[in-house]
Amino acid sequence: MRTDNNNVTNNKYTMQSIKFQSNKIIKIAGQVYKGYSVGELPKRFAFIYNEDKDQEGITEWFNHKGLTYVEYNPSIWSYV
């Protein structure tokens, strides 16, 4: 039996509630996600690894109400 962000009880799925923190920031099961429209997707989106820049891409996302949500990990430089 597979478990992701959903709780499995007696082969029934219990959906996690979505908490909207702002217009494009949501929180599901304690994890924060940021929503992007198609033209605003980060450059790291949808590739596994870039050897030239030694950088990992974004390989996990989900779509909800027209936005593509990826895990939100702000860098220290976004607060400076």
Name residue 22's amino acid. S
Closest to 44 measured CA to CA, from 22, 73, 64, 10: 73
pLDDT in tens, the chain (80 residues): 444 555 555 667 777 888 999 889 999 988 999 999 989 988 888 877 767 777 787 888 999 999 999 999 877 766 65
- Residue 56 has a pLDDT of 80
Is the separation of the CB atoms in 42 and 53 below 8 Å? no
- Residue 36 has a pLDDT of 94
Q: How far apart are CA 48 and CA 57, in angstroms?
A: 5
- Residue 1 has a pLDDT of 46
- The whole-model pTM stands at 0.66
Residue 9: C-alpha distances to residues 2, 3, 14, 17, 52 (Å): 11, 10, 8, 16, 45
